[in-house]
Amino acid sequence: MKQNAYGNVFDTITTKTFKQIKIILPLRSVIESFENIINNIMGKVLFNLEESENIGSVRDALLPKLMSGKIRVEC
């Protein structure tokens, strides 16, 4: 893209620049496989974020009680 950009002070990229770029489109089956893999990964990321928030909430609720001695943990 930089080779197709123009301008004296700053390189300018316009829709004309994009029209000059040739791309290869993957087969629909490749796109669908990619989407399935990414959806699975993103689902796990979302689950982990929610789990982290839940664990953080439990920590925030328990830590002050542990520090004050209101709750004791047997070792």
pLDDT, tens digit, for every residue of 24-54?
999 999 999 999 999 999 999 999 999 999 9
Distances (CA, A) of 31 to 24, 34, 39: 12, 5, 12
Q: Is residue 38 part of a domain?
A: yes
Q: Is residue 6 part of a domain?
A: no
Q: Is residue 19 part of a domain?
A: no
Q: Is residue 16 part of a domain?
A: no
Confidence of residue 23 (pLDDT cuts 50, 70, 90): confident
The domain total for the chain is 1
Q: Is residue 8 part of a domain?
A: no
Above 80 in pLDDT, residue 8?
Answer: no
| Position with higher pLDDT, 64 vs 4 | 64
Q: Is residue 56 part of a domain?
A: yes
Q: Is residue 1 part of a domain?
A: no
Q: Is residue 69 part of a domain?
A: yes
**Mean pLDDT across 62-69:** 94
